Structure 1
């Protein structure tokens, strides 16, 4: 994993920060503090960004790629807690609780990250109401995702779990076909299913017209709107007869 520790962040990180309403609402001195203390990181698939049991030191803003928050059981099996997508922030819960990290954070794809150190994070939290409002919004959304995953793992059939996994990495407000640079192996980690079982589900989705696959490029194209309907109806609504 590469970083630019001590160096000025790139223009892309500056633009990323300026795209957030909470950042634009900061007084000039706090915007300067955020830029001056931010650390820019690039990582390749499989690289660890943070490890379980280590101190929580940064808040992570994802400019590019996917990050997997997961835990490993005593038998070596992995359980994905959340998949952080491009344009999202993560790691705030551990910073707020001032605890050792309870999960591993790993790059699923090549990633570009803006890392805000805990000292700056705490300064913003104590000084900015818009920043606190944003933290509340993202933690509420993540809690909803955790509940959804818990229900899926206990009650739903594998195909619906795979469909939910696809929606987890898709952009919320995107309609129609959307390209997802996620491999079947990565999707299996997100869903908590075997790669073979995920492959069976994707084959079914392909027959139903919910996804198309480009094997040579490792790219999945999903019909986000129809996939949402599939999840909401747990595979019914006429899909089974297609």
Structure 2
């Protein structure tokens, strides 16, 4: 494990800091201080980073891999709240005397992060209070995602909702697949996917099979390959939904490093 201040960890943390809205109003001196107090951290697939109601000990930036934040009912049924894309800093938390994490955070792939202790994070905010302007701005910007999700669930067809959901998965879990496609490793049951898009499992399965017949996707046991994401994007936009604005509002969004030079977006 490298120590805080090592050149490798500092440069990796600085790269994440420079492209995340939390730090948009912090001067370079502050960004450098923050990066120099970061450590490297690795989480194996299936390993929990933290659990719901655990005391907040660290703030994290995701260098590679993917994680999901979810809640679980008393019966054990899980519902994903957010999937974290490379480049994300997380989580948001309430500034109380004893802050705690909301939701469980688990790696869906082997993931490498940088982390900073909560005491250092709070000291950073006291020394450079413009951090909180960035935190507020980034949190407020998520309103587009919240409003967009409400619009999706109330005004658009299940096919549109499912197309947008798959495009979001490409952002957070996508990797280059065969024949220039994008492979998305699945950790969701069809029941959870149906819950996420507000439809019946049988109908979700029928739409996926339809897209498979047309060659848009290929379904495998461990996930699916999206051969033509433009078909999904067109399906999402056909009913007038602003898919670009919605997907950009999420962490990672179209600015995800995964899409740079991919040819997926213009």
* Corresponding residue of 2:40: 40
Does structure 1 residue 62 correspond to structure 2 residue 79? no
1:220 aligns with 2:217: no
**Could you tell me which residue of structure 2 aligns to residue 49 of structure 1?**
49
Per-residue Cα deviation, 1:170-215 (whole angstroms, up to 9, x for no partner): 449xxxx985443233375566369876554332233455x33374
**How many Å separate the matches in 1 of 2:24 and 2:114?**
13
1:85 alignment counterpart: 85
Q: Which residue of 2 aligns with 1:105?
A: 105
Structure 2 partner of 1:192: 195
Judge conservation of contact 2:5–2:37 (CA < 8 Å) in 1: no
Matching residue of 1:230: 235
Change (3 A) 1:232 1:141: farther
Normalised TM-score (structure 2) = 0.66
Could you tell me how far 1:124 is from its partner in structure 2? 3.3
The 8 Å contact of residues 66 and 85 in structure 2, kept in 1 or not, is answered as yes
Q: Quick one: structure 1 residues 108 and 68, their matched pair in 2 at CA, closer, same or farther if it must change by over 3 Å?
A: same
- CA drift at 1:36: 3.5
SS at match of 1:186: coil
Distance 2:120 2:5 in 1: 16
Give yes or no for the alignment of 1:204 onto 2:210: yes
2:135 aligns with 135
CA 1:35–1:100: 2 relative to 1, 3 Å? same
Where in structure 2 are there 5+ consecutive unaligned residues?
173-178, 242-266
Stretch deviating more after TM superposition (162-171 or 12-21): 12-21
The structural deviation recorded for 1:58 is: 2.0
Cα 1:110–1:6 change in 2 (3 A) is same
Shift of 1:25: 4.9
Gaps of 5+ in 1: 237-242
Matched position secondary structure for 1:68: strand
Distance 2:83 2:219 in 1: 22
CA, structure 1 residues 170+36, in 2 after alignment: closer, same or farther (shift >3 Å)? Answer: same
User: 1:182 is matched with which residue?
Assistant: 184
- Give the TM-score normalised by the residue count of structure 1: 0.71
